[in-house]
Amino acid sequence: MTGQPATPMLDVRDLHVQIAARNGTVRAVDGVSLGVASGEALGLVGESGSGKSMTLRAILGVLPPEATITSGQVLLDGVDLVPLSNSDLNRIRGPKISMIFQEPMSALNPVMRVGDQIAEGPRIHLGYGKAKAAERAQELMRRVGIPDPERRFRAFPHEFSGGMRQRVMIAIALSCDPEIILCDEPTTALDVTIQDQILRLLARLCTESAVSLIFVTHDLPVVAQICQRVAVMYGGQLVETGDVRDVLLNPRHPYTLGLVKSAPDVDYVRESLVPIPGSPPSLVTPPSGCRFHPRCSFVEEDCKVLPTPLRELSGGRATACLHYERAEEAVAADRAASADRGWS
Amino acid sequence: MSAISFPEPALAQQADEHAAPRAARRWYRQPALATGLVLLAVIVIAAAAAPLLTPYNPIKQNLGASLLGPSAHHLLGTDQTGRDTFARLLYGLRNDLRIAFIAVLAPFCIGTILGSIAGYFGGWVDTVLMRLVDVVVAFPFYVLIIALVFVLGPGERSIYIAITLVGWVSYARIIRGEILVAKRQDYVVAARSGGLSPIRIIGRHLLPNVITQAFIYAMSDIVQDILAIVTLGYFGLGVPPPIPDLGSMINDGQNFLTTHWQLTTFPGLAVVLVGLSLSLIGDGLADVLRPGHS
């Protein structure tokens, strides 16, 4: 598929995840295909409930008990992770893939010393002894910028600030030298200055150790700062993929356009924030045709009935919109309007 | 009510994160916990130091000195076979406390292990274990214990077996419930994402976070076990006769209640004090270890 690297290290193909709920089956992830090359950072953006986190958890095989992968493949270096048993997966989670969570407080064990939590992975996966693992943990703490690791090693998570806890999480994620780190909104719970520090740290570690990232967020500036490519999710499906600058500056899907217009600080010229009308679709009974059509300002009759798979465009991009030219025209019109007023 | 426990609004505000260590440092400020610990310490020391506190052998009969009233020689008098009541009380406490503390260990361990397996894995394992729990819970505690000891025959070993068979279910329920909640926490998902085995996740990540609840319950469970042991002794199903036991002392003294009330009253009082001290400890622990639940 265009917009995907030639030899993806992680290759997710047509992934479907369903959640059994009281009012029916929720199709949380509905045919998502992603590819991440070695050393690349992919942003996965979308509203709450669009299936971003479920996609990450499905890749790692840590879905909540009521959710299951109903079809699709998750190929890591050519090996499909979906049919693997839990104990086989445990040889891959940690040394090959790891994950960073949104809430650094709740993602750390409150009654275990942080040093032990960082050292746990190397002890199990790399077969380190107690002393060597402790040494490794202190080295990692130094690398992620935790001051005084010899002393902080013995501290408990509640003795750390939010930013420091997230650094601990990053140290845990890095502890077994993974090839790819899945980041589930790692900066959402932090305030802006700390957010920036953590993003810089992640970006630096990525280039230093050639780790790939999948970066889930709803924060577009963050994506612009850290990712090379972006995939936009809506209602459990991908609606647009491509190079980060292309997608954010020239959206080819009305939903991406809506996201960009509703986000502050994006390098997109407009006079005020414009919300997307309506609310996210029900994933129990999703709308027919394009899932975005009930909220789309460019909707046409065929949008309500025709299926909308990703279609490849030039420049390594893909969109699910049947009338993506409309989004393009709207961007051009906005730009012209603001140029008239002497902006930009 | 109590002069010691002032509300501390400023501290309560930030309690969540730091409550556990701070509360642990202030355990002695909890009147219930402090009273319970002191009371239990006095009882345990008295029971353990029985040979130092009384010169009498609790088993040796002295028919020439039966049913004496309290005196300087016999603090609480003697029973119908001339044994010193105070000595029998101390040695009886010693036996009953020992049996109760040992008896609580097996159900604690078995219940915790089975409860965490049921809670963590769910599915059919959970269904089977919890139906088994329901079956045991369907019978009243004492009825089941008495029936089991009756079938197994009186004696210390039967008491351990009966209490284990009946007692594990409460621990299993408590731990299962706690694990059901805790396993959805991010740190457990994070541990799974780190490729840790289920045994390691349960042992190193889940149990340290939930075992407190089982400890608190164990305090009230010991009370229940002591009452069960005393009840069995009272029915003649406890430790066999010459060995001192509070339950059999109460039963033996019952015949002389109108003339020698001290024979039943003091063993009964000892049971009450033991129960009271452990309940106070349990309540105090719950307050100290579960901030915000008080």
Contact yes or no for A244/A224 (Cβ under 8 A): yes
Burial A279-292 (b: 16+ CB within 10 A, else e): ebbebeeeeebbbb
Q: How far apart are CA B93 and CA B82, in angstroms?
A: 19
Q: How confident is the model at residue A1 (pLDDT cuts 50, 70, 90)?
A: very low
Amino acid at B17: E
The total of other beta-carbon atoms located within 10 Å of residue B4's CB is 9
Report, as an integer, the average pLDDT of A94-115: 89
Q: How far apart are CA A133 and CA A231, in angstroms?
A: 37
As a 3-state breakdown, chain B gives helix, strand, coil percent values, each rounded to 5, of 75, 0, 25
Q: How far is CA B134 from the centre of its chain?
A: 22
Q: What pLDDT sits at residue B111?
A: 94
Q: What pLDDT sits at residue B290?
A: 66
Contacts of A15 (CB under 8 A, 6+ apart): A29, A31, A32, A33, A55, A58, A69, A71, A72, A73, A74
Q: How far is B69 from chain A (nearest CA, A)?
A: 57
Contact yes or no for A43/A36 (Cβ under 8 A): no
Contacts of B3 (CB under 8 A, 6+ apart): none
Q: From residue A241, give the alpha-carbon distance in Å to each of A246, A256, B70.
A: 10, 10, 94
Taking alpha carbons only, the member of B44, B110, B101 closest to residue B219 is: B101
Q: From residue A93, give the alpha-carbon distance in Å to each of A82, A98, A106, A119, A214.
A: 13, 6, 20, 15, 15
Q: Domain extents for chain A?
A: 254-344
Alpha helices in A47-113 (DSSP H): 52-60, 86-89
Q: Which two tokens stand for residue A177?
A: 């030298």
Contact call for A121 and B122, based on CB within 8 A: no
Burial A48-72 (b: 16+ CB within 10 A, else e): ebbbbbbbbbbbbbbbeeebebeeb
Interface of A to B at Cβ within 8 Å reads: 57, 60, 62, 64-65, 86-87, 89-95, 97-99, 101-103, 106-112, 120-121, 124-125, 158, 169, 172, 176
**Inter-axis angle of helices A162-174 and A192-209, nearest 10:** 20
Q: How far apart are CA B169 and CA B85, in angstroms?
A: 37
Q: What pLDDT sits at residue A275?
A: 78
Q: What pLDDT sits at residue B155?
A: 84
Which domain CATH number covers B103? 1.10.3720.10
Contact call for A103 and B186, based on CB within 8 A: yes
* pLDDT tens-digit map of A311-328: 888 888 898 888 888 888
Best A109, A118, A174 member to test B by mutation, with max B CBs in 10 Å, is: A109
Q: How far apart are CA B35 and CA B271, in angstroms?
A: 17
Contact call for B189 and A90, based on CB within 8 A: no
Q: How far apart are CA A118 and CA B58, in angstroms?
A: 58
Between A337 and B46, residue with greater pLDDT: B46
Best A102, A111, A180 member to test B by mutation, with max B CBs in 10 Å, is: A111
Contact yes or no for A215/A43 (Cβ under 8 A): yes
Please name the residue of chain A whose CA is at the shortest distance from the CA of residue B18: A158
Number of domains in chain B: 1
Q: How far is A324 from chain B (nearest CA, A)?
A: 38
DSSP A205-248: HHHHHT-EEEEEES-HHHHHHH-SEEEEEETTEEEEEEEHHHHH
Q: What is the DSSP secondary structure assignment for residue A32, as one 8-state letter?
A: E
Q: What pLDDT sits at residue B118?
A: 94
Position B45 in a domain: yes
Residue A176, CB half-sphere, CA atoms under 13 Å: how many?
27
**Inter-axis angle of helices B85-121 and B246-254, nearest 10:** 130
Beta strands A79-80 and A67-76, pairing class = antiparallel
Contact call for A109 and B208, based on CB within 8 A: yes
* pLDDT tens-digit map of A107-138: 999 889 999 999 999 999 998 999 999 999 99
Report, as an integer, the average pLDDT of A254-282: 75
Please name the residue of chain B whose CA is at the shortest distance from the CA of residue A108: B187
The domain in which residue B188 lies consists of 27-50+74-289
Please name the residue of chain B whose CA is at the shortest distance from the CA of residue A182: B193
Given a cut of 70, is residue A268 above it in pLDDT? no
Q: From residue A100, give the alpha-carbon distance in Å to each of A46, A184, A216, B194.
A: 18, 6, 10, 10
Residues of chain B neighbouring A57 (CB-CB closer than 8 A): 189
Say which of B18, B197, B204 has its CB closest to residue A158: B18
Between A269 and A183, residue with greater pLDDT: A183
Q: What pLDDT sits at residue B291?
A: 55
Contact yes or no for B173/B196 (Cβ under 8 A): no
Contact yes or no for B23/B288 (Cβ under 8 A): yes
Alpha helices in A21-83 (DSSP H): 52-60
Contact call for A89 and B194, based on CB within 8 A: no
Residues of chain B neighbouring A108 (CB-CB closer than 8 A): 187, 190
Given a cut of 80, is residue A340 above it in pLDDT? no
Taking alpha carbons only, the member of A59, A56, A89, A85 closest to residue A73 is: A59
Residues of chain A neighbouring B194 (CB-CB closer than 8 A): 93-94, 98, 120-121, 172
Given a cut of 80, is residue A269 above it in pLDDT? no
DSSP A169-184: HHHHHHTT--SEEEEE
Lowest mean per-residue pLDDT among A15-24, A333-342, B34-43: A333-342
Taking alpha carbons only, the member of B238, B236, B269, B237 closest to residue B95 is: B238
Burial B5-34 (b: 16+ CB within 10 A, else e): eeeeeeeeeeeeeebbeebeeeeeebbbbb
Q: What angle do CA B150, B151, B154 make, to 5 degrees?
A: 50
Q: Is the dihedral of CA B215, B216, B220, B223 positive or negative?
A: positive
Which segments of chain A are extended strands (E)?
A: 10-21, 24-36, 41-45, 67-76, 79-80, 97-100, 180-184, 212-217, 229-234, 237-243, 311-313, 317-319
Q: How far apart are CA B222 and CA B124, in angstroms?
A: 32
Contacts of A22 (CB under 8 A, 6+ apart): none
Taking alpha carbons only, the member of A193, A244, A242 closest to residue A221 is: A244
Q: How far apart are CA A275 and CA A291, in angstroms?
A: 18
Contacts of B135 (CB under 8 A, 6+ apart): none
Positions in chain B whose pLDDT score sits under 50: 1-19, 292-294
Q: φ, ψ for residue A276 (rounded to 5)?
A: -85, 125
Contact call for A101 and B194, based on CB within 8 A: no
Q: What is the DSSP secondary structure assignment for residue A283, as one 8-state letter?
A: S
Q: What pLDDT sits at residue B153?
A: 87
Interface of B to A at Cβ within 8 Å reads: 17-18, 122, 184-187, 189-198, 200, 204-205, 208-209
Say which of A65, A102, A121 has its CB closest to residue B194: A121
Q: How far is A286 from chain B (nearest CA, A)?
A: 27
Position B64 in a domain: no
Please name the residue of chain A whose CA is at the shortest distance from the CA of residue B189: A62
Q: How far apart are CA B270 and CA B197, in angstroms?
A: 48
Taking alpha carbons only, the member of A236, A235, A240, A261 closest to residue A316 is: A240
Contact yes or no for A321/A251 (Cβ under 8 A): no
Residues of chain B neighbouring A121 (CB-CB closer than 8 A): 194-195
The total of other beta-carbon atoms located within 10 Å of residue B146's CB is 17
Q: What pLDDT sits at residue B136?
A: 92
Residue that has been written with the tokens 């949104």 in this structure: A102
